[in-house]
Amino acid sequence: MHRISAFVLAAALLFTGCSTKPAEELNMISGVGELEFSAESSEYEHAEEFPPSFIQTSGSEEASSLPESSSSSSVSVSSSSSQPEQSSSTSQSVSQQESSQSQSSSQEAEEEGDEEEEWQGSGSVSGEISAIWVSYLDLGPMLTGKSKSQFASNIGKAFDKIADTGFNTVIVQVRPFADALYQSDYFPWSYLCTGSEGEDPGYDPLDIMVDAAHDRGLEIEAWLNPYRVRAANSTKKLCDENQASIWLDEGSEAVVKYAGGIYYNPASEEARKLILNGVKEIVDNYDVDGIHMDDYFYPDPDKSFDAESYAAYDGPLSLGNWRRQNVNTLVKSIYSAIKKSDSSVRFGISPTGNNENNYNKQYADVKKWAQSSGYVDYICPQIYWGYNHATMPYAETVEEWDAMVTSSSVKLIVGIGAYRLGESGEWNGSSDILARMVKTARKADNYGGTAMYRYDSLYNSAVPNQAARECKNLSDVLG
């Protein structure tokens, strides 16, 4: 009887992605057709986790399947991160492909039956964070141009799916481009609210998201991009009230135009104060459980980015050490401000999974943060590679990051690339790779949890049948 019930449930999930909700509700949440991201969608598809030039590209088939750098004129996007809604012909093609993949996956499962038994139904680990990133790419279709009641309904349904899968934390991107999805004294309303930066939507999306998360037993972290004002080649206009626009008009060193993008200058005390004030107001005004920073620090190793600021420094530090000191100063001041305001609010940073790139190309001294008190409560490296990756295999990379964390006050939360479902190799037709990755992460001595990138990759997937199978097995593990 239990087998029959399980079969019926699995069959239902195959037709609804990771949710048991009707298909029309998925369409309501995705809002495809109501909001045009056009160039924005392809331009920034992986902007949060793949800064220009920082992708690990060497290795075998697994390495070659990584997306192209976001700085190139045409960005290669994985199939699992395509537009959420597909035409009927495309859906049919995907279903046929998944059917074939499913047969292959079933054969592999039979051969690896012992390994499958090891993780299925294990349930959650006490105190762990099981998080999912809700990117601006996910939020845009739910939010842009929507009334307060429409957004509340959309985000409520999204959080229902997240809670039903077994996640206990949402990391929502509330400041992606030096703007705000909340009432701010320092940053303008994001264009994601109404379509135009600086335009008040008439309600506070973050306030709604905090209540919606807590009503469902979810914790919520506010995800900020500290330095990025506009990514390269963005067509979105800065409003006159944007501090970056004001500083650009004044010729201030606090903001830098570089390679088609606009960034706050990590060397600027004014810029650091602005970023810090933005963090303080969130912790003071909203009942968030954490502040989360992503992996964008310095946009490029190019000396020309901040040549004038470095020349003005005229001190003993090399360019690299000076840049790392600038970032460290901001990180430490944010940690201190959060703890002074509310010691229960955690602060974490999600660097790229390749720490050599963090240190030498983005000037983020992650090792220092992981081995010292007073910087972060957790490190969440984006270990978005599979088990079979030639140069950065998942399990071994988790072990390396675990060994790096030596401070008793810092936990390791492992970032997992759910967006890769449907790619070639071990991501093709899988049913349990995400669940197995959670189990692997739990073996770390400094384990604090996992985080999945990102919402649409599981609940509006271009490979919905595979995503449904992955969610089913995730539910068993997250318990």
289, 294, 155: which is closest to 221 by C-alpha?
A: 289
Give residue 292's pLDDT.
Answer: 98
pTM, rounded to two decimals: 0.80
Tokens in use for 190?
Answer: 């994001």
CB 245 within 8 A of CB 286: no
- Which pLDDT value is given to residue 124? 75
Q: What is the mean pLDDT of the chain?
A: 82
For tokens 């506070």, the residue is 204
CA-based nearest residue to 346, from 47, 127, 124: 127
Helix then strand then coil, in percent of the chain rounded to 5, is 45, 10, 40
Q: Given the structure tokens 């845009």, which residue do they identify?
A: 140
pLDDT score for 92 = 40
Residue 17 confidence (pLDDT): 52
CA distance 68 to 64: 9
Radius of gyration of the chain (CA): 22
CA proximity to 209, closest of 182, 176, 177: 182
Q: What are the backbone dihedrals phi and psi of residue 154, each rounded to the nearest 5 degrees, phi first?
A: -65, -50
**Spatial distance between the Cα atoms of 462 and 25, rounded to a whole number of angstroms:** 16
Q: What is the domain partition of the chain in residue ranges?
A: 2-478
Q: What is the pLDDT, as a whole number, of residue 107?
A: 43
The domain 2-478 is placed in CATH, from the list 3.90.1150.10, 3.40.630.10, 3.90.920.10, 3.20.20.80, at 3.20.20.80
Strand partners, 131: 169, 451
Q: Tell me, what DSSP letter sits at residue 352? A: B
- Classify residue 425 by its DSSP letter: G
Instruction: Please give the DSSP secondary-structure letter assigned to residue 463.
Output: S
| pLDDT score at 122 | 53
DSSP state letters, 31-84: -BTTB--HHHHHHTTTTTT--TT-----SSHHHHTSPPPTTSSS----GGGS-S
Give me the residues of the chain with pLDDT under 70, please: 1-122
